[in-house]
Amino acid sequence: MARFASGITVVTTLYQEHTHGMTANAFVSVSLDPPLVLVSLDNRSFMHRVLPEVGRYGVSVLAEGQEVLSNHFAGLTVEGLQIRFITRRGIPLLGGAVAYFVVRVIDIHPAGDHTLYIGQVEHFESSNDTPLLFYAGQYQQLRREKMKPPQWAQDDFSLFSIGSIDPPIIATGKENSHPRTPASNRNK
């Protein structure tokens, strides 16, 4: 998975009147209607133990320059680090992030050594700042080019849910005269 570029998020929640957080790059959009997202948490993590009880969490999509926050919430703590939190709908989020989600857990799926938490988005906001990226085990940056305005309104929330049909596919090479018949059944 090191060759799959991703953004970096910090998942936060309030548990027993204390803010808790962890770095996660396994965060995806699941649905636009209703707005659903998914975060995958290691079964050994503290967040995995408390999330079913608290039922709500925040996701802060980190901006360039927030590597120290990513490292801190990944367990490479920085002594004396002053962290600026903001609150939306009672959930703590990291100040200066490029996007914020407040999410209510609606489904939980064990998946090997991780658990998938599907949540309904209760609040979303974003800025035009540049996100922090992770690729090949290192933090990366976007190339600086003029950003084009979104083509579709939902682009701010999900890039991959823009069509309702599969696009046509034109195969090259020898055409298969029996496209839906398994090869073992063609000559029977």
The whole-chain average pLDDT of the chain stands at 81
pLDDT at 178: 45
User: In this predicted structure, what is the pLDDT of residue 160?
Assistant: 47
pLDDT, residue 138, reads 66
Hey, what domains does the chain have and what are their CATH numbers? 7-19+43-127 (2.30.110.10)
Could you tell me if residue 107 is left (phi over 0), alpha (psi between -120 and 50 degrees) or otherwise beta?
A: beta
d(CA 26, CA 116) in angstroms, rounded, equals 9
Degrees, nearest 5: CA angle 134-12-118: 80
pLDDT at 53 over 90: yes
In the prediction, which pLDDT does 188 show?
44
Kind and range of the H or E element at 46? helix 46-54
Given pLDDT bands bounded at 50, 70 and 90, which one contains residue 148? low
pLDDT of residue 90: 94
User: What is the model's pLDDT at position 92?
Assistant: 95
* Mean pLDDT (whole number) for 92-98: 95
Flag whether pLDDT at 116 surpasses 50: yes
Q: What is the pLDDT of residue 156?
A: 55
The band of 19, judged by pLDDT with boundaries at 50, 70 and 90, is very high
pLDDT at 110: 96
Percent of the chain with pLDDT over 90: 51
More confident residue, 97 or 140: 97
Beta-carbon contacts of 60 under 8 Å, excluding residues fewer than 6 positions away, are 9, 10, 12, 93, 94, 97, 99, 100
